């Protein structure tokens, strides 16, 4: 039986090997920039040839060709490979090298045991002396392969690589494949000798500094940026005492090896996890992904997280050590090196715990929400963190510590204005302090910007819509005062009652176009004599009165509301008008005419003005038999103190009457609905299909997005830009964030659906 089976197996193998296809098809699949094929400037290509021959019993032959199958060129060099020290000088293939830091020779197996060390420079292999160049870049061709190595390069590429080594190795346009071959040598030098003293501390530092320099020069390449950062982290773990003072220079990594050691050591020593370590934990856990504001505004997010964490947990949170022991793995860039295991079995691995993470997520979410507007602003084109509009969107704690020259300059300008002009200025002059172009109107966003600017400088403004129930206008005035309202100001009923009385009084005082000093003093006594007002409330009302006396009166809708008053409320209103109008002691005919105009604008009977004047003054001065006897030189009106206190009365008339008359000057602006609901999507069918696919999850690996785009015949960068431009038009914010991986802002997605 075994013999029969053997014959069948041999037959199948024969058919598989000897079959000759009559037709074939080729499928080329480009490897994404996130794979290691990005080392080369040429895409890796996988070719699959299939055949179907009716005469061969429907068997198919698949031949897979990959560029990393390229065989290394055989060398006659029998010299054992060695490390070239930094200061060593030598000549290779007609090039003079004044600096080493690479492996040189003909024989050196890779650490994995398969093939030759990929970074080994063999001078017996042919290399063009004058390597061709493409523009300003070094020559490249398809010999790079999936994992580049010196031995598998073409002679043109070898010449280009030697040119790179002979240079200062600092040209940012160098094809990244050459940089990786150079980098492989550092990986081998450190990993091979990690357990011995063959690499001195000085050489160790030299290699650290060189890799750090390469990381900075070639940072634009995501793949190299990640591998070089991980290697620097590995070096710090291998000789922590040597690199302790340089820990801050090590870039953030995807492996998080240092973080795991730091976290494990902290918890093993029964120390609390502080704010900085807690944030690292969030960055290195699979349980949570930081959102766009945390990535775009990284420094601000860190500071705010520190503040909110400290407010909630003080010095930190206590975590009990778990039983799982810590084991670290370094994955090398070179295919000539296996992964490296670093055992720390004396430490636990608390990074696996979920309970502490669940305590940190709400803080991260709160900080994300607080920075959302700031982040959206910075997501727009041509914006900067130094813009006054950006500073105004920061949480107060962060804005106060920014020491913005704009805020300091504004504060000096405002205090001088308060001292010399009672704080009175124009809205346009106020806006000029921001350094931004003058808007067409003061809408909600502009109002908030100016209010926030004043608040951050501890300057109050009048009118402040939050407290004075009215807005300032672009062509109007505004009044500043110091100190401002403060963070926790909440006006009391007495504040609103006095404010409404001042509004009516200002209408009376300004009806003839001239504000008499006695009229103004009468109104200010309404503020000064009210013991129910706090100092802050009095400062705010005083500024509000200054603004009212220097702004046109708005009587729209007043007559209709006055018609609803009962007789007692109407009499109170008339007495208040007469008391303020006659505060200067003038009761001449022109004064009476102005009061009649005010009566008319308020819907009151102007024919009652003279009798109302006599009723108010009857108990204070002698009453003449005719109005012609009433003049500025005949009698001096004395302010009735009872009138001053009327707005404080416990009666329902005084408390509610003015509030019934005056409402907010301007209705709040209706929120603009997203144009997505009323306009077409604005995306073509292809980009809409990509968008619908992307919003199914919050984070995408770039190679996955590349596959989606390839199917739709789109370029990744262009597609992201198109979708974000569309999102800007709809909700004034980007929906995709390209940070290596592609992040989808699901909150913006929801806004786009509205």
Over the stretch 183-206, which tens digit does the pLDDT of each residue have? 999 999 999 999 888 999 999 999
Cis? peptide before 289, omega within 30° of 0:
no
In a domain, 361, yes or no: no
Residue 451 and residue 446: Cα distance in Å, rounded? 9
State the first-to-last Cα distance of the chain, in angstroms, to the nearest integer. 72
- Which phi and psi angles does 632 have, rounded to 5°? -65, -25
Q: Largest alpha-carbon pair distance within the chain?
A: 144
- The confidence score (pLDDT) of residue 494 equals 85
- The confidence score (pLDDT) of residue 398 equals 84
Residue 662 and residue 562: Cα distance in Å, rounded? 9
In a domain, 742, yes or no: yes
Pairing of the two strands 325-330 and 102-104: unpaired
H or E stretch covering 182: helix 176-192
Chain position carrying tokens 């010999």? 143
Say if residue 670's pLDDT is above 80.
no
Which of 337-341, 400-404, 592-596 is least confident?
Answer: 400-404
pLDDT above 90: percentage of residues in the chain: 39
H or E stretch covering 340: strand 340-348
Evaluate whether 478 touches 427 at the Cβ level (below 8 Å).
yes
Q: How confident is the model at residue 264 (pLDDT cuts 50, 70, 90)?
A: very high
Do 469 and 511 fall into the same domain? no
| Average pLDDT, integer, range 324-332 | 90
Which residues does 402 contact at the CB level (< 8 Å), separation at least 6? Answer: 391, 394
- The confidence score (pLDDT) of residue 184 equals 97
Residue 25 structure tokens = 């098809």
Say if residue 389's pLDDT is above 50.
yes
Domain boundary (169, 189, 218) is at: 218
Which of 416-425, 506-515, 717-726 is least confident?
Answer: 506-515
| Average pLDDT, integer, range 13-38 | 38
Q: How confident is the model at residue 558 (pLDDT cuts 50, 70, 90)?
A: low
Which residues does 413 contact at the CB level (< 8 Å), separation at least 6? Answer: 433
∠ CA 283-287-293, nearest 5°, is 45
- The confidence score (pLDDT) of residue 442 equals 85
DSSP 8-state symbol, 46:
E
Evaluate whether 254 touches 230 at the Cβ level (below 8 Å).
yes
Residue 200 has a CB neighbour count (10 Å cut-off) of 9
Do 703 and 736 fall into the same domain? yes
Which residues does 400 contact at the CB level (< 8 Å), separation at least 6? Answer: 456
Evaluate whether 706 touches 652 at the Cβ level (below 8 Å).
no
Q: How confident is the model at residue 306 (pLDDT cuts 50, 70, 90)?
A: very high
Cβ-count burial of 101 within 10 angstroms (0-12 exposed, 13-18 middle, 19+ buried)? Answer: buried
H or E stretch covering 64: strand 63-66
Domain boundary (633, 661, 689) is at: 661
In a domain, 64, yes or no: yes
Do 578 and 650 fall into the same domain? yes
Give residue 469's domain range: 388-481
Residue 183 and residue 340: Cα distance in Å, rounded? 16
Which of 459-463, 502-506, 592-596, 708-712 is least confident?
Answer: 592-596
Say if residue 10's pLDDT is above 60.
no
pLDDT, greater one: 357 or 619: 357
Say if residue 648's pLDDT is above 50.
no
Length of the chain: 754
Do 569 and 627 fall into the same domain? yes
Cα 486–chain centre separation: 27
Helices (H), 239-371: 240-243, 257-268, 275-283, 292-296, 298-313, 355-370
Please choose, from the candidates 725, 749, 743, 752, the residue with its C-alpha nearest in 3D space to the C-alpha of residue 296.
Answer: 743
Please choose, from the candidates 465, 455, 457, 461, the residue with its C-alpha nearest in 3D space to the C-alpha of residue 478.
Answer: 461
Output the average pLDDT for the chain.
79
User: pTM score, two decimals?
Assistant: 0.57
Long-range contact pairs involving 564-569 (C-beta distance under 8 Å, separation at least 24): 564/660, 565/657, 565/660, 565/661, 568/653, 569/653, 569/657, 569/660
Chain position carrying tokens 């204005």? 417
Do 467 and 508 fall into the same domain? no
Residue 678 and residue 670: Cα distance in Å, rounded? 16
In a domain, 602, yes or no: yes
DSSP 8-state symbol, 479:
E
pLDDT, greater one: 592 or 316: 316
Do 651 and 711 fall into the same domain? no
- Which phi and psi angles does 270 have, rounded to 5°? 60, 30
Residue 18 has a CB neighbour count (10 Å cut-off) of 9
Say if residue 322's pLDDT is above 80.
yes
Cα 394–chain centre separation: 10
Q: How many domains does the chain have?
A: 5
Say if residue 741's pLDDT is above 70.
yes
DSSP 8-state symbol, 103:
E
What letters, b where the CB count within 10 A reaches 16 and e where it falls short, cover 410-439? bbebbbebbeeeebbbebeebbebbeeeee
Say if residue 36's pLDDT is above 70.
no
In a domain, 526, yes or no: yes
Do 399 and 456 fall into the same domain? yes
Cα 332–chain centre separation: 33
DSSP per-residue codes, 539-595: HHHHHHHHHHHTS----TTHHHHHTT--HHHHHHHHHHHHHHHTTTS---HHHHHHH
Cis? peptide before 483, omega within 30° of 0:
yes
- The confidence score (pLDDT) of residue 41 equals 38
| Average pLDDT, integer, range 479-494 | 90
Do 685 and 735 fall into the same domain? yes
Which residues does 87 contact at the CB level (< 8 Å), separation at least 6? Answer: 99, 100
Chain position carrying tokens 């919050």? 698
- Half-sphere CA count of 253, side-chain side, radius 13 A: 23
DSSP per-residue codes, 632-688: TTT------HHHHTGGG-SSHHHHHHHHHH---SSPPPPPPPPGGGTS---S-HHHH
Pairing of the two strands 26-30 and 45-49: antiparallel
Which of 44-53, 343-352, 512-521 is least confident?
Answer: 44-53
Say if residue 661's pLDDT is above 50.
yes
Helix, strand, or coil (residue 525): helix
Query: What pLDDT digit, counting tens, does each position of 358-370 carry?
Result: 999 999 999 999 9
pLDDT, greater one: 528 or 4: 528
Residue 215 and residue 194: Cα distance in Å, rounded? 22
- The confidence score (pLDDT) of residue 52 equals 40
Residue 142 structure tokens = 């398809």
Query: What pLDDT digit, counting tens, does each position of 271-301 carry?
Result: 999 999 999 999 989 899 899 899 999 999 9
Residue 226 and residue 387: Cα distance in Å, rounded? 32
CA distances from 104 to 24, 90, 231, 348 (A): 44, 10, 22, 42
Q: How confident is the model at residue 400 (pLDDT cuts 50, 70, 90)?
A: low
Evaluate whether 561 touches 595 at the Cβ level (below 8 Å).
no
Residue 339 and residue 328: Cα distance in Å, rounded? 10
Do 655 and 682 fall into the same domain? no
Evaluate whether 92 touches 104 at the Cβ level (below 8 Å).
yes
| Residue 426, beta-bridge partner list | 477
Residue 106 has a CB neighbour count (10 Å cut-off) of 19
pLDDT above 70: percentage of residues in the chain: 77
Do 31 and 87 fall into the same domain? no
Do 566 and 616 fall into the same domain? yes
In a domain, 224, yes or no: no
Say if residue 62's pLDDT is above 70.
no
Residue 141 and residue 295: Cα distance in Å, rounded? 37
- The confidence score (pLDDT) of residue 211 equals 97
DSSP 8-state symbol, 256:
-
In a domain, 293, yes or no: no
Do 392 and 461 fall into the same domain? yes
- Half-sphere CA count of 563, side-chain side, radius 13 A: 7
Chain position carrying tokens 């990640």? 226
Residue 22 has a CB neighbour count (10 Å cut-off) of 11
CA distances from 605 to 202, 501, 507, 571, 611 (A): 99, 21, 17, 12, 11
| Average pLDDT, integer, range 558-585 | 71
In a domain, 193, yes or no: yes
Q: How confident is the model at residue 577 (pLDDT cuts 50, 70, 90)?
A: confident
Which of 67-71, 107-111, 450-454 is least confident?
Answer: 67-71
CA distances from 702 to 109, 235, 742 (A): 34, 28, 6
Query: What pLDDT digit, counting tens, does each position of 488-537 carry?
Result: 899 888 888 788 778 878 887 787 777 878 778 888 988 988 888 999 99
Say if residue 647's pLDDT is above 50.
no
């Amino acid at each position: 039986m075994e013999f029969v089976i053997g014959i069948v197996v041999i037959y199948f193998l024969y058919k598989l090997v000897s079959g000759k296809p009559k037709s074939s098809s080729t499928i080329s699949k480009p490897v994404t920039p996130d794979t290691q094929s990005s080392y080369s400037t040429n895409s890796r290509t996988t070719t699959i040839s299939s055949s179907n021959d009716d005469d061969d019993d429907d068997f198919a032959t698949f031949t897979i060709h990959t560029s990393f199958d390229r065989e290394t060129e055989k060398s006659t060099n029998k010299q054992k490979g060695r490390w070239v020290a930094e200061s060593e000088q030598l000549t290779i293939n007609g090039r003079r090298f004044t600096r080493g830091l690479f492996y040189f020779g003909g024989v050196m197996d890779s650490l994995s045991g398969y093939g030759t060390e990929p970074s080994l420079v063999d001078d017996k292999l042919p290399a063009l002396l004058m390597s061709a160049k493409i523009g300003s870049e070094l020559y490249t061709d398809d010999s790079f392969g999936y994992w580049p190595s010196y031995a598998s390069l073409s002679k043109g590429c070898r010449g280009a690589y030697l040119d790179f080594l002979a240079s200062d190795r600092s040209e940012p346009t160098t094809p990244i494949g050459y940089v990786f071959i150079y980098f492989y040598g550092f990986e081998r030098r450190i990993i091979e000798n990690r357990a011995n003293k063959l690499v001195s501390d000085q050489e160790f530092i030299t290699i650290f500094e060189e890799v750090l320099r390469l990381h900075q020069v070639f940072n634009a390449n995501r793949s190299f940026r990640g591998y070089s950062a991980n290697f620097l982290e590995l070096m710090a773990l291998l000789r922590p005492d040597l690199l302790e003072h340089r820990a801050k220079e090590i870039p953030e990594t995807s492996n998080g090896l240092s973080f795991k050691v730091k976290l494990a050591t902290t918890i093993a020593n029964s120390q609390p996890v502080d704010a900085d370590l807690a944030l690292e934990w969030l960055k290195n856990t699979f349980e949570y992904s930081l959102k766009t504001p945390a990535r775009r505004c990284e420094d601000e997010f860190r500071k705010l997280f520190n503040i909110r964490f400290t407010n909630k947990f003080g010095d930190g949170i206590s975590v009990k050590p778990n039983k799982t022991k810590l084991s670290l793995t370094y994955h090398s860039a070179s295919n000539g090196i296996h992964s490296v295991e670093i055992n720390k079995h004396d430490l636990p691995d608390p990074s696996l715990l979920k309970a502490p993470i669940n305590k940190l997520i709400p803080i991260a979410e709160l900080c994300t929400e607080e920075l959302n507007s700031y982040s959206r602003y910075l997501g727009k084109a041509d914006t900067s963190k130094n813009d006054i509009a950006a500073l105004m969107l920061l949480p107060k704690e962060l804005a106060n510590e920014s020491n913005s020259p704009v805020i300091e300059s504004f504060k000096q300008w405002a205090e001088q204005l308060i001292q010399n002009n009672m704080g009175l200025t124009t809205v346009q002059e106020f806006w000029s302090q921001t350094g931004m172009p003058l808007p067409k109107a003061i809408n909600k966003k502009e109002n908030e910007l100016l209010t926030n600017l004043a608040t951050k400088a501890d300057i109050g403004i009048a009118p402040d819509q939050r407290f004075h129930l009215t807005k300032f206008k672009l062509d109007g005035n505004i009044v500043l005062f110091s100190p401002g309202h403060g963070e926790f100001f909440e006006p009391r009923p007495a504040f609103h009652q006095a404010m409404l009385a001042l509004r009516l009084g200002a209408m009376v005082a300004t009806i003839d176009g001239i504000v008499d000093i006695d009229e103004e003093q009468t109104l200010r006594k309404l503020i000064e004599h009210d013991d129910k007002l706090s100092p802050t409330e009095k400062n705010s009302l005083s500024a509000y009165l200054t603004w009212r006396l220097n702004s046109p009166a708005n009587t729209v809708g007043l007559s209709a509301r006055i018609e609803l008053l009962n007789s007692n409320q109407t009499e109170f209103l008339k007495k208040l008008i007469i008391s303020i109008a006659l505060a200067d002691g003038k009761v001449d005919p022109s004064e009476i005419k102005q009061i009649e105009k005010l009566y008319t604008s308020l819907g009151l009977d102007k024919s009652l003005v003279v009798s109302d004047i006599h009723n108010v003054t009857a108990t204070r001065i002698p009453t003449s038999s005719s109005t012609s006897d009433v003049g500025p030189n005949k009698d001096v009106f004395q302010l009735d103190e009872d009138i001053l206190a009327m707005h404080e009365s416990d009666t329902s008339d005084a408390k509610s009457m003015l509030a019934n008359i005056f409402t907010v000057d301007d209705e709040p602006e209706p929120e603009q609905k997203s144009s997505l609901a009323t306009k077409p999507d604005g995306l073509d069918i292809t980009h809409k299909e990509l968008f619908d696919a992307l919003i199914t999850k919050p984070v995408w690996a770039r190679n996955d997005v590349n596959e989606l785009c390839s199917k739709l015949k789109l370029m990744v960068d262009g597609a992201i830009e198109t979708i974000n431009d569309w999102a800007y038009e709809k909700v004034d914010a980007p929906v995709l964030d390209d940070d290596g991986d592609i992040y989808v802002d699901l909150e913006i997605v929801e806004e786009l659906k509205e």
